[in-house]
Amino acid sequence: MQFGIFTVGDIAPDPTTGHTQSEAERISNLVRIGQRADEVGLDVFALGEHHNPPFIPSSPPTLLSTVAALTKQIILSTSITLMTTNDPVKIAEDYAMLQHMAKGRLDLMVGRGNTVPVYPWFGKDIRQGVALALENYNLLHRLWREDVVDWEGSFRTPLQGFTSTPRPLDDVPPFVWHGSIRTPEIAEQAAFYGNGYFANHILAPNFHFKPLVDFYRERFEHYGHGTSDQAIVGLGGQAFIAKRSQDAVKTFRPYFENYPVFRGSSLDDFMKSTPLSVGSPQEIIDKTLTFQDGFGDYQRQLFSVDSMGLPVEMALEQVELLGTEVVPVLRKEMAARRAPGVPDAPTHSSLITKKYGDGEPRQPRPNPNRGDNLSGTSPYQDSDPAVEARFPVAV
């Protein structure tokens, strides 16, 4: 079972002091939060992708590469990579490069996103959002697994004789989670490929996303990847922790009730009716264990702990409490409750073993070039000779 944190990188005024972090402060503080998550033994640090104020993570690979250089063991991920408005070729290149920089400590969560204006900003039509997400991921999947890709679709120019560089580290692509809270087509695609499915279990009523998770599990089994309880499921969560529950509620209340998303909502009602966990470490543990009861055994639990204008020192304290007092107990309790045969979340090392067994991983070495491209028809010295890169011909 993997435990970690995800951040949307929002900026909001601190309602208790009036201070608003600058973009420079928030970017620097996100790196500090990622470092602290690694230091306290959390498994995952995930960063969202946004292109509008008040969010600042417009380039997750850039920030995550910095965190990779400053950490030792934590898995880096995205809490969403926009599969609709990004070019899948650029995703393939950027995240393969990041995978190399992180020495394999990387996976990826892809999805549609929920910001309507982002589509026209990037020249896309939101009415085609589902089709964009499906087609673009289908191409990304091939780009990471085939040395030479010929492809034609509906939403970008065709590819002829194309090789995405660098190849994934050890020729093993990053594991992919498909994030969705409302789209069965995305759950179906995750199941088809045997990828992970992530339901961001926040904001909505308790277990609101169970039907989608159950659907994904059923389709995972249908496609022959294993039984439904062996499907790879991740959940989001939102927590605020203090040694004493009354202190947690008192401290968190102004941040919650002044945040635009929740303004007009009652913190007490929200705590009762949604997955929001506010209280002592034991109360966070107890609430999280209900997720396992409701969704079944799952592989990844991420918490949001730095949003709503929390000052960085408070966010760092949340990471500390999560890593030292909550997660160790959850690891033990969830492992004791886990049914036999439920797999762990894939990692780079486990995927290497799955592909190569005891053999040495592939290390692609390009053939020489003629200045602007390859001198021959095969991009790598060990490429299948039957696969030729036939480049477009100028006419």
Tell me: the pLDDT tens digits for 159-213?
998 999 999 999 999 999 999 988 999 999 999 999 999 999 888 899 999 999 9
Going from the C-alpha of 263 to that of each of 80, 142, 230, 267, the distances in angstroms are: 25, 44, 40, 10
pLDDT at position 81 over 90: yes
- The CATH number of 2-356 is which of 1.10.760.10, 3.90.1570.10, 2.60.40.3080, 3.20.20.30? 3.20.20.30
User: Position of tokens 């990847």?
Assistant: 225
Distance of CA 111 to the CA centre of its chain: 9
What b-and-e string marks burial along 89-128, b requiring 16 or more CB atoms within 10 Å of the CB? Answer: bebbbbbbbbbbbbebbbbbbbbbbebeebbeeeebebee
DSSP secondary-structure letter at 3? E
Q: Where are the domains of the chain?
A: 2-356
pLDDT at position 393 over 90: no
| Cα separation, 166 vs 181, whole angstroms | 32
Instruction: Please give the share of the chain, as a percent, with pLDDT higher than 70.
Output: 98
What's the pLDDT at 372?
61
Q: β-pairing, 159-162 with 149-151?
A: antiparallel
Q: β-pairing, 277-279 with 300-304?
A: unpaired
SS3 track for 105-159: CEEEEEECCCCCCHHHHCCCCHHHHHHHHHHHHHHHHHHCCCCCEEECCCCCCCE
pLDDT at position 394 over 70: no
Tell me: the pLDDT tens digits for 325-364?
999 999 999 999 999 999 999 999 999 999 999 999 999 9
Tell me: the pLDDT tens digits for 217-267?
999 999 999 999 999 999 999 999 999 999 999 999 999 999 999 988 999
